[in-house]
Structure 1
Amino acid sequence: MEVVFERVEGRRYRVGVRRSGRHDTGPDVPPRVGVGAPVGDVPHDLVHLAIEEALGLRLGIFGQVAAGGDLGGFFTPPPADRSPLRDKRRSQRLARAGRSDTGLSESLAACVGHDGRLRGADELLTPAELGRVQRRLTALVDAWRATPPGGELVVTWPEHLTVRRGVLPSD
């Protein structure tokens, strides 16, 4: 799965999803205006992506989207060959199973300052985890800041962090 961040103007951005991996579930997600206020000039959704990837949160916001969930407003019309009710139930199961991952992602995103630095998360993470998160944040923030207006930053969600069908109860 590729997460596409488009710099619109100023602090505004759009975020969408392109399915690219053999284990991706669901259709592409057309870009939508980013929800959540940007952290300085850094997209809030980009902060979540950095945190979840660095910590291997398989059922954070982007892990759920990769697994076919719609958490965070990543809604798409279901393909004709799939059941909307079945997709909705899967999304609900993913949300229940991912409460702790999304909760940690939200708590940590709140600790990211306008400069893209993670502060005040010492009680939530080990020093090694703090270092991994900060390195990933720095890399993505630098890439975002180098993205011109109208340009896109494309980040590939790691396939090994994607929850496959049949893994959750009642799949």
Structure 2
Amino acid sequence: MLITFARALSGSTLSTIRRGDGVVLELPGYDRKYRVPHDLAHAVTERELGMAGGVFGSIAGGGVFDNMRVVAGRPRHDAAERSRRLLVANKVSLGIAEVLAGVVHDAVEHDETSTMERARRSYGIFSTDPFPWTEPQVYGAVAMLAELSVEYEANGKVVFTWPDRLTSPVPVPAGTKRGRRGRL
């Protein structure tokens, strides 16, 4: 999946997402007060931490959020239902992605120094499991976002590749039987 984050005329960000299925979507940003686009922080954080169930892994799998619109391509006949199932299944992962992207965003936007402490605390809102990422992974996401924010400021856009391995799988509809039928 290819994502282009571009400065919109309003001063915010407009993300254009080209999915592997040929559908092109637009995702408006609501971040005019920030130097670094929040959606770019999501993409970097989720990719660097390997989060398939976050915003962009969900979109790659067929998820469409309410504020998005299809601008090209032809969605599947059952796209709305698949999107609903996927977003419901990823609810906790999306929450974790939101808080961690916020931590990474703040680290770059405001030169935060307590990034790991905030990341662990934020993750703890959603899970009692040990924090699954290392300090180099988290600070790697901060460094990548800082690098891309310089490109965004200079050019007004960033082209970002989302790896196929981080595409969220679409859950099977309830009541669907899987497997082989009995032999005669």
Would the TM-score normalized by the shorter structure come out above 0.5? yes
Could you tell me how far 1:28 is from its partner in structure 2? 0.9
Counterpart in the other structure of 1:113? 106
Could you tell me how far 1:72 is from its partner in structure 2? 5.9
- Please say if 1:155 is aligned against 2:160: yes
Of stretches 119-128 and 101-110 in structure 1, the one that deviates more from structure 2 is 119-128
Question: % of aligned pairs identical?
Answer: 28
Q: Give unpaired runs (5+ residues) of structure 2.
A: 124-130, 177-184
Counterpart CA distance in 1 for 2:56 and 2:84 is: 15
- Please say if 1:25 is aligned against 2:33: no
Counterpart CA distance in 2 for 1:138 and 1:100 is: 27
Q: Give unpaired runs (5+ residues) of structure 1.
A: none
| Structure index of larger Rg | 2
Query: Cα–Cα, structure 1 residues 136 and 115, in superposed 2: closer, same or farther, change >3 Å?
Result: closer
Of stretches 51-60 and 66-75 in structure 1, the one that deviates more from structure 2 is 66-75
Higher helix content, 1 or 2: 2
Query: Cα–Cα, structure 1 residues 139 and 39, in superposed 2: closer, same or farther, change >3 Å?
Result: farther
Counterpart CA distance in 2 for 1:113 and 1:54 is: 16
Query: Which residue of 120, 125, 146 maps to 2:154?
Result: 146
Query: Cα–Cα, structure 1 residues 13 and 143, in superposed 2: closer, same or farther, change >3 Å?
Result: same
Could you tell me how far 1:49 is from its partner in structure 2? 0.7
Could you tell me how far 1:141 is from its partner in structure 2? 1.6
> What do residues 20-56 of structure 1 show as CA deviations (whole Å, max 9, x unaligned)?
xxxx235111x4531x325621111111111111111
The RMSD of aligned alpha carbons is: 2.8
Which TM-score applies when normalising by structure 2?
Answer: 0.71
Counterpart CA distance in 2 for 1:89 and 1:132 is: 36
Contact 1:6 1:13 in 2 (8 A): yes
Query: Which residue of 20, 37, 41 maps to 2:35?
Result: 41
Contact 1:40 1:114 in 2 (8 A): no
Shift >6 Å, 4+ stretches: none
- Please say if 1:13 is aligned against 2:21: no
Query: Cα–Cα, structure 1 residues 51 and 38, in superposed 2: closer, same or farther, change >3 Å?
Result: farther
Counterpart in the other structure of 2:61? 67
Which TM-score applies when normalising by structure 1?
Answer: 0.76
Contact 1:47 1:109 in 2 (8 A): yes
Counterpart CA distance in 1 for 2:75 and 2:154 is: 40
Counterpart CA distance in 2 for 1:121 and 1:114 is: 10
Could you tell me how far 1:58 is from its partner in structure 2? 0.6
Could you tell me how far 1:96 is from its partner in structure 2? 1.5
Q: Specify the code of the residue in structure 2 equivalent to 1:121.
A: A
Could you tell me how far 1:79 is from its partner in structure 2? 5.8
Counterpart CA distance in 2 for 1:129 and 1:26 is: 31
Q: Specify the code of the residue in structure 1 equivalent to 2:46.
A: E
What is the count of residue pairs matched by the alignment? 158
Counterpart CA distance in 2 for 1:32 and 1:58 is: 18
Q: Specify the code of the residue in structure 1 equivalent to 2:106.
A: G
> What do residues 76-104 of structure 1 show as CA deviations (whole Å, max 9, x unaligned)?
27966831xx2111101111221122111
